[in-house]
Amino acid sequence: MQRTEISTMGEFGLIHHLTKDLKPQQPSTIRGVGDDCAVMDFSEGTPVTGDGLRVLMTSDMLLEGIHFNLEYVPLKHLGYKAAVVNFSDIYAMNGTPTQITVSLGVSKRFSVEDLEALYSGIRLACERYGVDLVGGDTCSSMTGLTIAITCLGTAKAEDIVYRNGAKQNDLICVTGNLGTAYMGLQLLERERLAVMGDGSRVTAQPDFEGKEYLLERQLKPEARRDIILKLREAGIRPTAMMDISDGLSSELMHICRQSGVGCAVYEDKLPIDYQAVVLAEEMNLNIVTCALNGGEDYELLFTCSLDDYEKLVPIDDIYLIGHITKPELGTLLVGRNGEEIPLKAQGFNAFQESEK
């Protein structure tokens, strides 16, 4: 019998392979696998969602040793992040998160106080974003800590933004800055190894001075609810949108593939924070590569009509980085000297990482 290694497909390739033949059997299923959220309509004959509202659903799993390292990730921060990254998926569909369920796999090395710290972070995130924690499950684990969260949200049918709506000449925009979460992770790993090292350090304390923002971006990200509200106030409905969890290149290629278009992104337009640039130089890393492929920024990547340009310009923390092109032109990064470099999806692949 033929054996295909999971690592050869990657996360999204595996999902597509396993679900490509699925066909909805329920009329309430509007959109299934393939976007940031599933979309469902329960309005016919029931008051569950109210007039014109759709239910959005997303789920995410975090595994100790794959997605987080408890040597430097506080449990409260981990709980906050686990909740917020699910909220981000709902916002990426132009929706509003409303409820979550939390399921845990817990090994014997964790105490009640540890789980209280984890839940304090989850509860804080729910309070800040107005989301209810409504259930879940807990069971024992032989492999450390596993966190699985399902998030529900709502959106008006006409407001929902999918990945497949980008059109030729649309503007490509991102929020915030790119690569800072990845550089925060590199900083944490560098200091962890230094503290465990050969004793050359005078103290066994990590050195984070002047790099606090990078740590915050990695340990305590925020979903961009503020941008969604500003876009609504300005009367801008993106044509396609995703949150940046696996890196700008990967997410942009998803939008282009599902929309049947190409793109041109300009290197000198990428928003990159100064702290990230300095640390990248210290660690001999290419900051542009980090910005394109680092992942975990949880910023919004979206396209919108050229007609919305004047309404877009006054909104703070949105950056125009390129435009949508014909599909035959491919997905390109335009360098500072005008050179065209094909984009590659080099973001985080949990299956490859786990094999190392």
Q: What is the pLDDT of residues 169-205, one digit of tens each?
A: 999 999 999 999 999 999 999 988 887 765 555 455 6
- Is 234 or 7 the better-scoring residue by pLDDT? 234
What pLDDT sits at residue 353? 46
Are 53 and 153 in contact by the 8 Å Cβ rule? The answer is no
Cα-only R_g, the chain = 21
CATH of domain 6-156: 3.30.1330.10
Which of 48-57, 130-139, 337-346 tops mean pLDDT? 130-139
pLDDT confidence of residue 302: 98
Instruction: Give the whole-angstrom CA distance, residue 187 versus residue 214.
Output: 8
What are the tens digits of pLDDT across the range 262-291? 999 999 999 999 999 999 999 999 999 999
Residues 119-131: b if buried by 16+ CB within 10 A, e if exposed: bebbebbbeebeb
Q: Where are the domains of the chain?
A: 6-156, 171-348
Note the CATH architecture for domain 171-348: Alpha-Beta Complex (3.90)
